[in-house]
Amino acid sequence: MSTRINVTVNGLQYSHMVEPRLLLVNYLRDVLRLTGTHVGCDTSSCGACTIHVNGKATKCCTLLAVQADGCEITTIEGLSHNGELHPLQEGFNECHGLQCGFCTPGMIMMAADLLQHNPQPTEESIRHALEGNFCRCTGYQNIVKSVQYAAEKMKMSEAVH
Amino acid sequence: MSTNGLIGRSVKRVEDKRFTTGHGNYTDDIILPQQTYAVFVRSQYAHARIVRVDTSVARAMPGVIAIFTGADLANVNGVPCGWQVNFKNGDTMKEPKHPLLVADKARHVGDAIAIVIAESKDQATDAAEAVEVELEELPCVVDAYKAVQPGAALVHDDVPNNKSFDWALGNPLEEVKEAMDKATHVTTLEFVNQRLVPNAIEPRSYNSSYDPVSEKYTLYTSSQNPHLIRLLMCAFVLGIPEHKVRVVSPDVGGGFGSKIFHYTEEALLTWCSKQLNRPVKWTSERSESFLLDAHGRDHVTKAEMGFDEEGKIVALRVKTYANLGAYLSTFSSCIPTYLHGTLLQGLYTTPKINVDVTAVFTNTTPVDAYRGAGRPEATYLLERLIDLAALEMDVDPADLRFRNFIPPFDGVQQPGYQTQVALQYDSGNYEGVLKKGLEMVNYPEVRRAQQEAAHNGKLVGIGFSTYIEACGIAPSAVVGSLGCRAGLFEVGQVRVQPTGKVSVYTGSHSHGQGHETTFAQIVADKLGINLTDVEVVHGDSDSVAFGMGTYGSRSLAVGGSAIMKSIEKIIEKGKKIAAHKLEASADDIEFASGKFTVKGTDRSIGFGEIALTAYVPHVYPKDLEPGLDFSSFYDPANFTYPFGCHIAVVEVDKETGKVSLKRFVAVDDVGNVINPMIVEGQIHGGVVQGIGQALFEGAEYDENGQLTNGSYMDYCMPRADDLPMFETASQVTPCPHNPLGVKGAGEAGTIGSAPAIVNAVIDALWSGGHKVKDIRMPLTSERVWRAMNELIS
Amino acid sequence: MIPVAFDYEKVKTVEEAIAALSGDDLKILAGGHSLIPAMKLRLSRPGKLIDIGGITALKDIKEEDGEIVIGAGATHADIMYHNLIRTHLPFFTEGAATIGDMQVRNWGTIGGSLAHADPAADWPAMVLAADATIEMQGVKGRRNIKATEFFTGLFATVLEPNELITAVRIAIPPDGTKSTYQKFAQPASRFALAACAVMRFPDGRTNIAFTGVGDHAFRDTGAEQAISGKAIDDASVEAAMLAALQNVDVMSDHYASEPYRRHLSKVYLKKALMAVKS
Amino acid sequence: MQLAGKHVLHAAPPKVWATLMNKDTLARVVPGISHLEETGDHTYKSTLDIKLGPVNGSFTGNLQLDDLQEPSSFTLKGQQNSKIGNANAAIKINLLPVGTNDTEIAFEGDVKLSGMLASLGQRVMGGVSNTLSKQFFANLEKELNNTTA
């Protein structure tokens, strides 16, 4: 029994008939072919699938596509605007916040949610915010620094505007 | 040689943009036209006879294309082991078939019984559930020591005592015993180096297709070494011509060893794609990864270290039972032997060493290389022993090390150091890293704080680990004599395009290590061109001539050196072209900063113009071929031997046993450094995997062979909020035998860190009067609490 | 990981939800953060899901007749960020921050957590210590039940199959009330290995609840009696620790055996009592 | 997974014994049984529907009462298979007279779990077995009371 969903993903509107059991992550990856959102586990633990649904960080492996009906979704592909990288995307490059890159989209999307709530996070609050995102490569230190870099950069651009 | 200063700089990674914007291309991202999807039916039991497999219901379900069982593959070989180790008596190791699908019996939980292929993954999953499997559960063995005892169940009916092989190395046992008898103090430790699950965050994924017109296969695989997979799959498993197979490892989401091996699914999907004439894709679920990705470690060891009255080590004796799991994985046999026994000299002048290893089959997931592979086990053993000996003898652990270090040697003026266990170290300054570590941690202050804490009823401890490893895994002649069934060289091709832009083709796959940046730095630096003018290509057997892959911290030392050889050839040929154009002798041409110059003159010609001339050879020497493109195979003279000093400071909560890691200092000497930022990143990641082993991780099997913590809900992965900021520094003792002077940094962190943490916890407990010798890793709060309370009462 | 196929109905009101709750092979989908993982692993195979995520009326957090009323559909994050909660029930703010991780807190709901009744979930201990009332609605109408009567066993509550939780009601504690949630997390799942919630009123009455310890969260009346009305000092804390966990079947798993978990629980009781000491 | 426990019932051992040896009462006493079919002497084919929170599993397999020492002990054996994993149990049950009209039932045994139950269920399995044994005794008590009445 398929159900129609209407969603806005990275600013574009989509309408599809989907099976209720289709997970949102599979809708994004297989139907919309937005493959930047990854699947790293089956217990909602690793955070590789983190996206924003209505502005909130979400593990989309634990959401049915039908639950997202009417929602506004941002994935890693939609984070940068007009070809300009988001400060987090820049920060991860500047501070070597990634190695294999697999956890990176989820990590960045989670960090983006954090910076919305807490523009000047401490090291401790960054580490706490990222507790639901596993990285096996970096040991997290440079990820923390990448988020600090982005926070600093966002603060400076605020000051300019 | 020319340099523009790129080598040694923390150049930002060129590969990052695709990953930070969601444009990485991992195997599971690929959907081919006519794609089909595979799901496996797997054994729930660790050991079971397959009584009946009924696929009739499943076959009739919607979307199902095919179902294959072990019976369909009776004539297909199993996946091979790449390294032969012989018994002490000379017999060849026992190497039972590792079939692509089991037909007779399942030997570990997760062993594949059937593959279901359907139009969609949903349909394949539904149908796999409908395959009826009747199994007769058999008694099983899980523990390596128990498996060799009389009466234990047999994993393979034709392998007596479950012994794949036994093996020994070092001085004759009698000599070691004699030296041990003379020791004034002997520290003995019986311990388990527990089994770890590698847990690269990208689950393994394969997508294989077959083109009936060209009769060519293409396999996309999340592998660390596509060429080796092609070689093993073609030559050993499927018997298909190698030139008819293209193996591509696109972006790979971490490996840590677990993606080196040739897995059954790779060959099986390739086989299926031809049966169906359609591409077949399978991506491991995490719960499958726990059961199938080759695990690491799993040694049961007894070790004794003898000291004389001055605290000099006089003898070391080691007996290890190594658990290989149910089948021999690709490199499993060399891990507990040539990558473990050979490292037991450590940094010390121990004159007599004997190591004895029994390698054992059990009804568990196969065990193979996991970051460090054998060397963490060796380091853990040595570094636990020496720290414990210091506690027992009431000597300072740093001081005890200084008394035993091999003196500094550069491998050029002074010769390499010949160990008692077959290796010759290349160059080292071992006391240097410990001195630096002590300074960084401010040792006297930590000891003072420890005493003060003890006075206030708190437990603070400091632990050391001074490690060495053998990496840059190569010399084909050496590994060949040790039983490796492949060569271990590397290939590097440098193709200068007519416009002076450069494409580099390397057999060293990159899956997080940043080769696209580091290798480009080398080429740009040596050729005096811009970094953006260099592109590094890897991971595709159709593009790259050959390769042996990335593992054992070998990429830069071996792969980088192969590229260096090709750069030298480019420059040499460039000089000949320049000589012709500048009407001088090639011997008189110097190359520096991207320019070919006639010595002592200002007559010069740029690299770009030489490149153009090579491809537009209108004015060109007769005896020179056009083009500027060289490929080199590099086979080094020796392993490389990075070393370092890791120091941990911990606090143990007396009431709960919870360990808090307060500080972690790492001084690593990985030889010359091309990109310090990347090296530091490798150290961070490595250290956390060692911390993971010490404090968080460990596969737990019950006696029935069930993995009882087969998900992230129970298997504890280190997280951001579990860790402090690390304090790192480097020392540089160049490798004398490769052109870059590099040693390798991929595994150092993991090898060094775990014993430092455990030593620190033991030290903390001793400071509170709990004279505990060992706590089994991972040091969960309950284990530490028990250690404190069972000895105190 | 793909769940078994099921039917799906999204409802907009509580009434619609109750009407849809007929038949026994169905499950209510709130945030889904306990249910969907179980469905992906096919441990759970409902024939139909009733999605109540769209009932906006259930998301409210408000003050009403001297009570804080938390709609069952409020997420952990909604509660964590809410000023009313921060003011009157600071331990809810503190405790909510320890649930799962940020992404989970953004979807998981208090109603879902209570209905699920995981033996190591965080909300059960907190609502017990707060002496909350659980408001439920079903075909027979609305009923309120004290949290102390709500949890009946492992994953078991008094909730009928055709009922749903609509709100959690807590009498606004008098000024000077102190509360805390102290949790020793299982290192992998971050569920409570042992956790203790305490609410201490100005008159010295002390509510103590544990989660992660037995097969469901519970109020520890033994410990409460030992400390209620007494000053919190070494002797009274010691007495409370001694009195705690009488007649409790303490759970055991590979992160905490029964004796260790019992010990940890008492240590965390002590921490909690010290945290509410004035 | 090891299981052990004790429970005192208000009935003499012979009566408890009789309740457990009877197919119809056994079906009411063992939690979750939706179908029980005698296939031999104290040997049954069974279907159990276990619902615990989010987990619902339908188990099919055999139940067997073995090593019968009337009225003091027997072993309950079961092999139960499901899509989420199999369970294989052997539980020794001792009936000890207490006073004149009571029985202490002590059980001790081992349940082997496989599949998803083994790898993912560890955290709650202790609680599950506890819950099921509580249910078993509650059912048994009810059954004994009913037959008294």
pLDDT digit string (tens) for C59-97? 999 999 999 999 999 999 999 999 999 999 999 999 999
Chain D residue nearest residue B703, CA to CA: D112
Chain-centre distance for alpha carbon C44? 22
pLDDT tens-digit map of B528-567:
999 999 999 999 999 999 998 888 888 899 999 999 999 9
What pLDDT shows up at residue B3? 65
What pLDDT shows up at residue B476? 86
Q: Return mean pLDDT, chain B.
A: 96
Question: Which range is least confidently modeled, A132-146, B61-75, D109-123?
Answer: D109-123
- Given pLDDT bands bounded at 50, 70 and 90, which one contains residue B488? confident
Segment (H or E) for C241: helix C234-243
- In order, the DSSP letters of B508-570 are S--SSS-HHHHHHHHHHHHHT--GGGEEEEESBTTTSS----S-TT-IIIIIIHHHHHHHHHH
Which residues have CB under 8 Å from B435's CB, separation 6+? none
- Given pLDDT bands bounded at 50, 70 and 90, which one contains residue B793? very low
What pLDDT shows up at residue A66? 98
What pLDDT shows up at residue D149? 43
Of B203, B253, B726, the CB nearest to A100: B253
- Given pLDDT bands bounded at 50, 70 and 90, which one contains residue B395? very high
Regions of chain A where pLDDT drops below 50: none
CA-CA distance, A94 to A114, in Å (whole number)? 19
CA-CA distance, B468 to B639, in Å (whole number)? 12
At the topology level of CATH, where does A87-156 sit?
Answer: DNA polymerase; domain 1 (1.10.150)
Instruction: Choose among D143, D102, D92, D90: nearest CA to D14.
Output: D102
Segment (H or E) for B788: helix B781-792
- Asked whether residue B122 carries a pLDDT value surpassing 90, the answer given is yes
> What Cα–Cα distance (Å) separates residue B16 from each residue in A93, B193, B514?
6, 36, 9
Chain D residue nearest residue C33, CA to CA: D54
- Among the four given CATH numbers 3.40.50.720, 3.30.565.10, 3.30.365.10, 3.40.50.2000, the one describing domain B16-22+489-634: 3.30.365.10
Q: At what angle do helices A104-117 and A141-160 cross, to 10 degrees?
A: 50
- Among the four given CATH numbers 3.40.50.300, 3.40.605.10, 3.40.50.150, 3.30.465.10, the one describing domain C56-171: 3.30.465.10
- In order, the DSSP letters of B394-448 are T--HHHHHHHHBPPPB-SSSSPPEEPTTS-EE--B-HHHHHHHHHHHHTHHHHHH
Chains that touch D (3 or more CB pairs under 8 A): B, C
Please return the burial class of D49, using the count of CB atoms within 10 Å of its CB with bins 0-12, 13-18 and 19+. middle
CA-CA distance, C127 to B527, in Å (whole number)? 69
Confirm or reject CATH 3.30.300.30 for domain A3-78, answering yes or no.
no
A residues 57..86 contacting B (CB < 8 A): 75-77, 79-80, 85
- Asked whether residue C10 carries a pLDDT value surpassing 70, the answer given is yes
Of D1, D115, D123, the CB nearest to B713: D123
For the CA atoms of D84, D86, D90, D91, the dihedral, rounded to the nearest 10 degrees, stands at 10
| D83 contacts B287? CB cut-off 8 A | no
Higher-pLDDT residue of D118, A96? A96
CATH architecture classification, B372-404+423-474+639-792: 2-Layer Sandwich (3.30)
pLDDT tens-digit map of B734-774:
999 999 999 999 999 999 999 999 999 999 999 999 999 99
Higher-pLDDT residue of D144, B78? B78
Whether chain D has a CB inside 8 Å of the CB on B136: the answer is: no
Tokens representing C128? Answer: 């017990």
What mean pLDDT do residues B257-281 have?
A: 98
Instruction: Choose among B461, B446, B393: nearest CA to B767.
Output: B461
CA-CA distance, B520 to B7, in Å (whole number)? 10
Query: Using beta carbons and an 8 Å cutoff, which residues of C are at the interface with B?
Result: 1-2, 4-5, 41-42, 184, 187-189, 254-257, 260, 263-264, 267
CA-CA distance, B464 to B437, in Å (whole number)? 9
Which residues have CB under 8 Å from D77's CB, separation 6+? D62, D63, D64, D65, D66, D89, D90, D91
Strand segments, DSSP code E, in B292-404 are: 296-307, 313-325, 353-361
User: Residue ranges per domain, chain A?
Assistant: 3-78, 87-156
What pLDDT shows up at residue B474? 72
Q: Span C178-276: which CATH code? A: 3.30.390.50
At the topology level of CATH, where does C7-51 sit?
Answer: 3.30.43
Confirm or reject CATH 3.30.230.10 for domain B31-138+202-253+259-292, answering yes or no.
no
What mean pLDDT do residues B479-485 have?
A: 85
The number of C-beta contacts closer than 8 angstroms across A and C is: 83
Chain B hits for D88, CB-CB cut-off 8 Å, are 137
| B109 contacts D120? CB cut-off 8 A | no
| D53 contacts C45? CB cut-off 8 A | no
Position of tokens 């060094």? B752
Chains that touch A (3 or more CB pairs under 8 A): B, C
pLDDT tens-digit map of B595-630:
999 999 999 999 999 999 999 999 898 889 999 999
Alpha-carbon dihedral sign for residues B111, B117, B123, B127 = negative
**Angular region, B533: left φ>0, alpha ψ -120 to 50, beta rest:** alpha
| B726 contacts A141? CB cut-off 8 A | yes
> What Cα–Cα distance (Å) separates residue C131 from each residue in A157, C105, C268?
48, 23, 20
How far away is chain C from the Cα of B673, in angstroms, using its nearest Cα? 36
| D120 contacts B710? CB cut-off 8 A | yes
| B704 contacts D119? CB cut-off 8 A | no
Tokens representing D60? Answer: 């099919």
Neighbour tally for B115: CB within 10 Å: 27
DSSP B88: T
Q: Do B380 and B463 touch, CB atoms closer than 8 A?
A: no
What pLDDT shows up at residue B43? 97
Domain count across chain D: 1
| A100 contacts B688? CB cut-off 8 A | no
List C146's β-bridge partners, or say none: C133
Question: Which range is least confidently modeled, B714-718, B732-736, D132-136?
Answer: D132-136
User: Residue ranges per domain, chain B?
Assistant: 16-22+489-634, 31-138+202-253+259-292, 372-404+423-474+639-792
Neighbour tally for B393: CB within 10 Å: 16
Buried b (16+ CB within 10 A) or exposed e, B36-45: bbbbbbbbbb
Chain D hits for B714, CB-CB cut-off 8 Å, are 120, 122-123
Segment (H or E) for B384: helix B375-393
Whether chain C has a CB inside 8 Å of the CB on A114: the answer is: yes
- Asked whether residue C148 carries a pLDDT value surpassing 50, the answer given is yes
Chains that touch B (3 or more CB pairs under 8 A): A, C, D
Range of the domain at D64: 2-148
CATH number at residue D133: 3.30.530.20
Buried b (16+ CB within 10 A) or exposed e, A44-78: bbbbbbbbbbeebbbbbbbbbbbbbbebebbbbbb
Whether chain C has a CB inside 8 Å of the CB on B44: the answer is: no
- Asked whether residue D123 carries a pLDDT value surpassing 80, the answer given is no
- Asked whether residue B684 carries a pLDDT value surpassing 70, the answer given is yes
- The reply to whether B372-404+423-474+639-792 shares the fold of B16-22+489-634 is yes
Instruction: Choose among B592, B511, B196, B556: nearest CA to B380.
Output: B196
What is the predicted ipTM? 0.96
| B708 contacts D118? CB cut-off 8 A | yes
Of A43, A108, A139, the CB nearest to B20: A108
Overall residue count recorded for chain B in this entry:
793
pLDDT tens-digit map of D45-86:
999 988 877 777 889 999 999 999 999 999 999 999 998 889
Backbone angles phi, psi at B7, to 5 degrees: -70, 130
Angle at B162 between CA B159 and CA B164, to 5 degrees: 75
Chain C residue nearest residue B785, CA to CA: C260
- Asked whether residue C106 carries a pLDDT value surpassing 70, the answer given is yes
Whether chain B has a CB inside 8 Å of the CB on A93: the answer is: yes
List B506's β-bridge partners, or say none: B492, B538
Q: Do B736 and B556 touch, CB atoms closer than 8 A?
A: no
What pLDDT shows up at residue C162? 87
What pLDDT shows up at residue B791? 55
How far away is chain D from the Cα of C70, in angstroms, using its nearest Cα? 23
**Angular region, B422: left φ>0, alpha ψ -120 to 50, beta rest:** left
| C119 contacts D127? CB cut-off 8 A | yes
pLDDT tens-digit map of B352-389:
999 999 999 999 999 999 999 999 999 999 999 999 99
